[in-house]
Chain A
Amino acid sequence: MLKIQPAELKVIAQYIHDISGIYLDQSKSYLFETRLSSIAEEHGCNSYQELYQKARKDAGKRIERQIIDAISTNETLFFRDNGPFELLKHKLLPEIIDLRTPSSPRLKTNIKIWSAASSTGQELYSVAMVIKDLIGNQMDQFNFKLLGTDISDSAIQQASYGKYNKFEIERGLPRQTLQKHFTLFGDSWKVKDELRAMVNFRKLNLMLPFGGLGKFDIIFCRNVAIYFTLADRKKLFNKLADSLADDGFLIIGSTESLTGICPRFVPKRHLRAIFYQKKT
């Protein structure tokens, strides 16, 4: 494996931060080597400095995309932590449906949900499954917009395709749910079309302006800010507050905290989970 030189660490770490917002600890050179060495080799680079220069010059940004794919962590699973999905089912969805249902029965209820770091899609599909199970055959009275965004092209691709191998499926999906919402596809499982039709995935770097996404009723932003610096975390949650409806809900990772990061949010507890709302 190509060794990274101490002098290269700072440049590469800065470059990764610039393209992705991800902050890698420079004292852990193995983080860089295990993730980037094969890309360096593929492009015939003898040093990380050389890879950096090639990536900067690459007009098609192919190398940059490869680096982002390699650096971003796609650790995710269906119904991760479970708590937020119980919360969604028993509190957030019923409340938001109440708030958004128009007085005229001829009008549909519009609800927008965003999975801000959707990785390979498991979180957003879990949300879609909760919605389907809750609403059942009254789906035609609703207009759900479920958006998943991620910085990694390959993650977005897998998410849109909705195909998962047995290891991804085994984690977190009860057999009954699996059979209801997926179809067997060779040795893998594919999300059923009716579920896939509810969601939309697109690439987004959370460090850049969100640009026209509008306001959401519920935002999931779990386990992504942990890879950012404190300053970047403050910026991110401030932007999320701008993107959340005044009576909307924010859900962050179960071991994350907004104390000292964004005073615009107040935590609220329901059962064993915490959600955030904007301060009134």
Chain B
Amino acid sequence: MNNLTILVVDDDPVIRRLLEQRLAKEKYKVLLAEDGYVGNETLASNHVDVVLTDLMMPGDVGGIEVLEFAKELERNIEVILITAHSSIDTAVEAMKKGASDYLEKPINFTELFLRLEKISTMRGLVRNAQDLRQAMDVTESTAAETIQNLEITAASLQSHIDSIESIANNHELDFAERVAQILKNIQSIR
């Protein structure tokens, strides 16, 4: 079972069905949208890991707008654009806007699955790093509290030692008076 949820946005019903079948066969969870509007609506109301969108679609919401909407919604969504050879320049522009990749038509499925696998591995690693970091944060904050308390305690003990030393060295006081003051100082530590 692949854990990624993939949203396919394409106005061509044949491509939609083809992608749906092939992705489902690889055990990806698939959502479909027939244009950019529906694509954005689906994004807003579902958890999506990867958006696979056609670059050119009828209406005002094309692949670029889907990309921008997805990135605005959740920076972690990966967007792969599907493009005709003639619009590769636009696809490269889209990469600058945060698309993770583009695929040329006709879709090479081996290539597509490789990219999805990469995304999946990457997500696993990120998740793993987040878990480790969280564990580290907990350890660190517990340790910080202990260390800070010790640091303050050590400093306060040091200042007591300093004043005891100066009492001991104070020859203006007689021996009994020094002992009395030292004892008083020690008692104040407890």
Contact = CB atoms under 8 A, between A and B. Distances in A.
29 contacts: A81-B140, A81-B144, A166-B75, A167-B126, A170-B75, A186-B96, A186-B98, A187-B97, A187-B98, A254-B140, A254-B141, A254-B144, A254-B147, A254-B148, A255-B140, A255-B144, A255-B147, A256-B147, A257-B150, A257-B151, A257-B154, A259-B151, A263-B158, A267-B148, A267-B151, A267-B152, A269-B148, A269-B152, A274-B148
Interface of A: 81, 166-167, 169-170, 186-187, 254-259, 263, 266-267, 269, 274
Interface in B150-177: 150-152, 154-155, 158
Contacts of B98: 186-187
B73 interface: no
Given A254-B144, A274-B152, A186 B75 contact: no
Interface of B: 75-76, 96-98, 126, 140-141, 143-144, 147-148, 150-152, 154-155, 158
Contacts of A257: 147, 150-151, 154
Contacts of A258: 151
Contacts of B151: 257-259, 267, 274
A259 B154 contact: yes
A194 to B, nearest CB: 24
A186 B71 CA distance: 11
Contacts of A186: 96-98
Contacts of A81: 140-141, 144
Q: Which of B76, B144, B158 neighbours the largest number of chain A CB atoms within 10 Å of its CB?
A: B144
Nearest to A256: B147
A169 B76 CA distance: 12
Nearest to A260: B154
Contacts of A263: 158
B70 to A, nearest CB: 12
B150 A255 contact: no
Given A81-B144, A254-B144, A257-B154, 9 more contacts: A81-B141, A166-B76, A257-B147, A258-B151, A259-B150, A267-B151, A267-B152, A267-B155, A274-B148
